[in-house]
Structure 1
Amino acid sequence: MTFVACNSSADISGQLEGVNKEGIKVYLIKPETLRNVAASYLGKVIDSATVDSKGKFQFYNLPKTKEPVLLELALQQSNNAPNYLETENLNASNYMPILWQIGKPLKISAKLDEFQNSFSIKKPSEINKALLDLRDIKKKAYETYLAGKQWQFEDGSELLEKEHAILQYQTELIEFANKTQYLMPAMVALRWVSLENDYERVPEFLVNQCNKWKQKQPNHPWVNELCKKSDASNLPVLIGDKFPNLKVPMITKDTLTLNKLLGDKLTIIDVWASWCAPCRKENREVLVPIWDEYNDQGLQIIAYGLESDEASWKAAVERDGADRWSNASDLQGDETSFLKKIRLQTIPANFILDGNGVVIAKNMHGKALMDLVKSQMNL
């Protein structure tokens, strides 16, 4: 038991608005690894405080390390685990990351039912101000791109629309991480970009963050963790890489190397499947018009199908008009070595290559892809 003198000041004290019941607690959580940040159930609970009838709470038992440390305050109104974090409904997030440093007490305030979104600190340090700015960026991006959006997935046709909205949301957080001079706010942004810890669609972001922070703080364990995750062997082919010159079995029964198929000016390597509704829509509405307009100007399309049934594959190619361009598949479904060699797991996916086979863009779809091709072909 810790005894505290009546006149001692709390290391962290808070005031909650809207308290109308008993049993509300706030917990202090210490993420011990980068993976633990913003991850429900993974952070280490180091202290707790009961909110009184006036909405006040206090913490006295904080880490005694000289170095600043990232902590999370988590508000629990029910029987949830102390380190449960609401990560599904971002408007109802019950936690907030803060930077704690010995000798610098924090006075915070927040609303009971809008804990993260209303969270404030009296006279915050520059780093805590950066965390609050990041929270505001996340809130605005969520409300702009994701909140209240409804996508229809019966036929999968709106999957790409949802993915584009998620990417727009992520881009706001990525820009913050790329600009900030503070490690911990950057790491929180990185985790908020993908709470699932899946960066397949934005691997260049991981690489950029590793390169940035290994220069600034090369010995920090979270930087080491980040750089391990951003190793090229863990990521899909990156923008700026030369696409591997793989041998692929063609629909014509030939086996060719990709370099023999590249266009003089531009090549789209499209990874698709006959059972993938958004892929089929992209074939008909985007790739066919692109091909018809630019093929004779040096554009090539190479479509690799994740197929296991040859008849279904060929029927889809013909029905979509995709027989205009080169088609390949080893008919091993998603177990194909092609995916493993380019370290890809999710479709639809594409890589846009220049005349030398270097990736200049990835995962562009719809009008964005058509505009990119137009601009590149007119260079």
Structure 2
Amino acid sequence: MRGVFFLLLTIVALMVACSKPHVISGTLDLSDGSEWQPKVYLIQPGKWSEVGQSFVGRVLDSAEVGKDGYFGFQGLPDIENPALLELAVQKKGEGYANLLQNEDPRTDNYFPLVWESGDQIKIKAGIDRFQASLSMESPSNANEEILRLRDLRIRAFERYMENSSRVSDSDEALLDREKMLFNYQTELMEFANGTEEMLPALLAIRWVSPEGDYERVAEFFYGQAQEWGTLYPEHSWVREIGLKAEKDKLPILQGDLMPQLEFPMKNGETLLLDEVLKGKKLLLLDVWASWCAPCRIENRNVLLPLWEKYQSNHFQILAYGLESSEKAWVNAMERDGADRWLHASHLLGDQNPLMDALRLKTIPANFLLDGEGRVLAKNLHGEELIQFVDAYMAGLVKE
């Protein structure tokens, strides 16, 4: 009798377990899914820097997709709530459940969602366009924001990044491609700046640069760290961002005073920044190299006309070269007509004290400084740089 009793208990327990509602479930359209495994994986990024990254998130569970497209996850382990999780599908033959594609949001194979204890999340998606096609039944505020971010990201990708592949590989087009990337990032940054939901904002920051490179958007990154650090100072992901966004780890920010730098000049002298600034209304600190094609084009097409227009009106250009060959350096500035303004270099290549002091890794780069050495603007190129200098010299830009 005792054996029968325990058998009945086991059957009842199994029936109860099977009757538990699925906390995350959905239906996938498998009509174009011949290349895909009929399985959905549930992944938890352990850190903010792991969001959207392959091979690092912890696979919590997997669910088989039935012939009718249905899948469901029942029990989730105890995790900090609310939590950002990732649903992912994988192609046949793929050996890793946590491979996440971040090449094209229209075809990427994963979707981030916010789950909180007690939630029941139901989704629909096409398995071959998982991120782009996913919809959610009665989403929470946080998930509604993620869906909005996803849609915004796709539109921005189609507007800017899709077209960037059509831009020629010419030297003149390199800065155009960089501008397209910045325009794409701007749409995601505006979302992060505008949302009141923390986890969707942190996701947007990751999608601004899946590679984790915030050099060209340092002000945005710093601002987000400050905002969420004030609201949620104890959240581990917010603390992680705060550490990465400390000022001494980012390039000099717009609005900050430039440190007192020393410049080994072409004529052999060493000048302090204060000496260069003395009596000047506007200083363009330009970081360039003789081997940098966009830099050379900017010398001829932008800097030279600006110099000729404003050099007699308290405008100065100080160009710092990432050079190891003095001959190549001098030849480049002479050919470009750039030898008319100030030049400096340690002649140590790209590993030099100035790049370390400015915390830069990428050129062309520039800083526009007022007479006190405060950074008014950064990394303006082409027509944007011309327009800024024109407006500032005309007194139309407030310091």
- Please say whether Structure 1 and Structure 2 have the same fold, judged by a TM-score greater than 0.5: yes
Alignment of 1:17-36 (within 5 A): 17-19=29-31, 20-21=33-34, 23-36=37-50
**Residues 1:336 and 2:348 aligned together:** no
* 1:103 Cα deviation after fit: 1.5
For 1:100 and 1:159, locate their aligned partners in 2 and report how far apart those are by CA, in whole Å: 41
TM-score (norm. length: structure 2): 0.91
Distance 1:206 1:3, change over 3 A: farther
**Residues 1:256 and 2:268 aligned together:** no
Which residue identity does 2:315 align to in structure 1? L
1:249-301 deviation digits (Å, cap 9, x = unpaired): 11111111122112622111000000000000000011111111112222111
Unaligned runs of 5+ in 2: 1-12
Aligned to 2:100: 85
Aligned to 1:194: 209
Aligned to 2:23: 11
For 2:14 and 2:327, locate their aligned partners in 1 and report how far apart those are by CA, in whole Å: 76
For 2:118 and 2:232, locate their aligned partners in 1 and report how far apart those are by CA, in whole Å: 24
* 1:148 Cα deviation after fit: 4.1
* 1:195 Cα deviation after fit: 0.4
Aligned to 1:171: 186
Q: Is the 8 A contact 1:66 1:102 kept in 2?
A: no
For 1:275 and 1:66, locate their aligned partners in 2 and report how far apart those are by CA, in whole Å: 50
Q: Secondary structure at the match of 2:100?
A: coil
**Residues 1:274 and 2:274 aligned together:** no
Aligned to 2:6: none
For 1:312 and 1:270, locate their aligned partners in 2 and report how far apart those are by CA, in whole Å: 18
Aligned to 1:50: 64
Unaligned runs of 5+ in 1: none
Q: Secondary structure at the match of 2:172?
A: coil
* 1:328 Cα deviation after fit: 0.5
Q: Is the 8 A contact 1:99 1:128 kept in 2?
A: yes
Which residue identity does 2:335 align to in structure 1? R
Aligned to 1:289: 305
Which residue identity does 2:268 align to in structure 1? K
* 1:151 Cα deviation after fit: 3.3
1:282-335 deviation digits (Å, cap 9, x = unpaired): 000111111111122221110000000001100100100111110111110011
Alignment of 1:292-311 (within 5 A): 292-311=308-327
Q: Is the 8 A contact 1:47 1:61 kept in 2?
A: no
Larger Rg: 2
2:329 to 313, 316, 323: 313
Q: Is the 8 A contact 1:145 1:165 kept in 2?
A: yes
* 1:76 Cα deviation after fit: 1.1
**Percent identity of the aligned residues?**
46
Q: Secondary structure at the match of 1:93?
A: coil
For 2:344 and 2:37, locate their aligned partners in 1 and report how far apart those are by CA, in whole Å: 62
* 1:243 Cα deviation after fit: 1.1
Q: Is the 8 A contact 1:157 1:278 kept in 2?
A: yes
